[in-house]
Amino acid sequence: MGPDMKRFDAADLPERVDVLIIGGGVTGASAARDAALRGLSTVLVERDDFASGTSSRSSKLIHGGLRYLQTYQFRMVHESVREREVMMRIAPHLADLQPFLYLLYRGYPEGKALLNLGLTCYDAFSRAPLNRWHRMLGRAAVLRREPHLNPAGLAGAGLYHDAMTDDARLVIDVLESAARAGALLANHSEAVGLVHERGRVAGAEVADRITGAQTVIRARTVVNAAGPWVDRVLGLGAPVPHPTLRPTKGVHIVLSAKDFPLRTAVFLRSPSDDRVVWPTPTADGRHVYVGTTDTAFDGSLDDVVADEQDIAYLLEVANHTLPGARVGTEHLVGSWAGLRPVIAPPPGTSNSDASREHTITEGTGGLITAAGGKLTTARIMGRQIIDHVVAQLAREHGVRSVPASTTDQVPISGGDPADRFRARRALQPVAATQAERWLRRYGGNADRVASAGAHEPIPGTDLTDAEIRYAIEHEMAMTIADVLVRRTGSFYWSADGDDAAIGHVSGVLADHHGYSPDVRATQEIDYRGWVARNRGHRIGT
């Protein structure tokens, strides 16, 4: 199994490591796993919690980006659908293949012939088995499958497959894999300055935001994988005259399936601006989330929430999709908002048409900066980052004979079929619905979750003491939000953010980490405030 994730301290650090990665989202996590599996000594630091930025606020899909065929981004779609197949192999518990309907209404620019051609390319790029290739459906067949859909002008649909995921859990399991391969990790640890030696970037000054301790980490190579914050990290070394990114905001709203009875994820066009949007049922069938917006963002990168305009836009989409639902703000379970780290495009390019490609550059002093990209292709981006690291290590430090990447072959934590089989057998005493939920979330680690604590749900929630203790004792959860937003994900699907579990979570955190009553109270206030700010109409009620 290897060691659990744990925050390193100064005593754990060697005098100098091969690579220091700044940023604990999916890009940094993927690079850390790749580096550690190649035998490079690796440290990763994250200012907040792992996946706390973009990587826990995506559309929660591992997909090829069918809509990018419309802008002729064929290479990216090809790479993405192939990567979907890789993720289904190395992370089967977090790459859940599901049917999708790409709806066609009169007046849509694609039409049946063009959509059929696009889906044929999509299937061919992925090399998926023939039984997963798409089918074109007529109007009657679509309505038989989803009788509540808007029938006005409906011409048919393409039925195809893509994968759903829990984005934050994916990051956690990738990082656990990196830790098992020897990487040292620290969340809530901010790079506050870069270390320079002989004109080269040779490490970073890091401040622990939990304890206040300061540490200098020296490294042969340093990678800036801070997502929307890459320009902030670049600014630690020198002023940034031209921003690398033009972040855009993506918002999703959550509805109960009782209020919005949709069983199959659908792609269609917004009635207000013709953008492609997608209402998506959750795997357990209890909720539907509707997204996403794509708007220019010039606010604080540290304060991204849905506003009234975002919510109104997505409610219009929802009511256009299922007119009989008549959903309003009173039906919202919640919302989430995040920033896409989009490379600044040429002038005149719309947000929706901006490329999701990524770049890896080496700046003055040797700082390697990875910008752009998306969740689906993060493993490839991580491999390419470490290829760049390896080249720099050879050029600058004479390091040779670093093995090639194996991340497309080695399962991530929880993804090994043998571990999943063992876990399923170990979970036989656990209630069947609970066991299946844990297997879907934790894969081959589900038996470790079951052994961490009690299995009975905390009253008023679906959460158990076992999940909470596992998050805190084995997955480096340091705050209530770490547990409820990113380790268990319950924040997203509960109208009150699982308020009934807050006291239990803060108690286990205090016991495990030695937090004072003041720290415990502050964390409770902070988490409840975060829930309120992502519940729109519920603020102040």
CA dist 428 and 435 (Å) reads 8
Phi, psi dihedrals of residue 278, rounded to the nearest 5°: -145, 105
pLDDT in the model for residue 273: 92
Q: Once rounded to an integer, what is the mean pLDDT over residues 473-483?
A: 98
Locus of tokens 């490591």: 17
Confidence (pTM)? 0.95
Q: First-to-last CA distance in the chain?
A: 47
Q: For residue 178, give both structure tokens.
A: 């990196």
Cβ–Cβ < 8 Å for 157, 102: yes
The one-letter amino acid at 335: S
Q: For residue 73, give both structure tokens.
A: 């981004």
Which range of 4-8, 29-33, 271-275, 345-349 scores highest in mean pLDDT? It is 29-33
Cβ–Cβ < 8 Å for 407, 30: yes
Q: Which one, of 164, 170, 167, 165, lies nearest residue 98 by Cα?
A: 164
Which range of 6-10, 231-235, 441-445 scores highest in mean pLDDT? It is 441-445
b/e burial code for range 506-533 (CB count within 10 A of at least 16 → b): bebbeeebebeeebbeebbeebeebbbe
The one-letter amino acid at 380: I
pLDDT band per the 50, 70, 90 thresholds, residue 122:
confident
Q: For residue 200, give both structure tokens.
A: 């080269």
SS3 string, 424-445, reads HHHCCCCCHHHHHHHHHHHHHH
pLDDT in the model for residue 514: 97
Q: Which one, of 24, 20, 22, lies nearest residue 51 by Cα?
A: 24
Q: Once rounded to an integer, what is the mean pLDDT over residues 68-85?
A: 80
The one-letter amino acid at 534: N
How remote is the C-alpha of 375 from its chain's centroid?
A: 6
CA dist 160 and 120 (Å) reads 10
Distance set, CA 231 to CA 24, 330, 369, 400, 454 (Å): 16, 39, 9, 31, 44
CA dist 380 and 523 (Å) reads 36
Cβ–Cβ < 8 Å for 131, 107: no
**pLDDT tens-digit series, residues 491-535:** 999 999 999 999 999 999 999 999 999 999 999 999 999 999 998
Domains of the chain in sequence order: 10-54+168-244+355-397 (3.50.50.60), 98-163+246-340 (3.30.9.10), 452-538 (1.10.8.870)
Residue 72 has pLDDT above 80, yes or no: no
Cβ–Cβ < 8 Å for 25, 227: yes
pLDDT in the model for residue 539: 38
b/e burial code for range 336-372 (CB count within 10 A of at least 16 → b): bbbbbbbbbeeeeeebbebebbbebeeeebbbbbbbb
**pLDDT tens-digit series, residues 172-201:** 999 999 999 999 999 999 999 999 999 999
Distance set, CA 85 to CA 92, 377, 409 (Å): 10, 11, 12
The one-letter amino acid at 329: T
Higher pLDDT, 73 or 452: 452
Cβ–Cβ < 8 Å for 127, 83: no
pLDDT in the model for residue 347: 55
Q: For residue 366, give both structure tokens.
A: 């040797």
pLDDT in the model for residue 541: 38
Q: For residue 132, give both structure tokens.
A: 């997963």
Q: For residue 237, give both structure tokens.
A: 């070394």
Cβ–Cβ < 8 Å for 123, 84: no
pLDDT in the model for residue 111: 87
pLDDT in the model for residue 358: 85
**pLDDT tens-digit series, residues 235-263:** 997 777 777 888 899 999 999 999 999 99
DSSP strands (E only) in 63-213: 96-105, 135-138, 154-164, 184-186, 189-197, 200-208
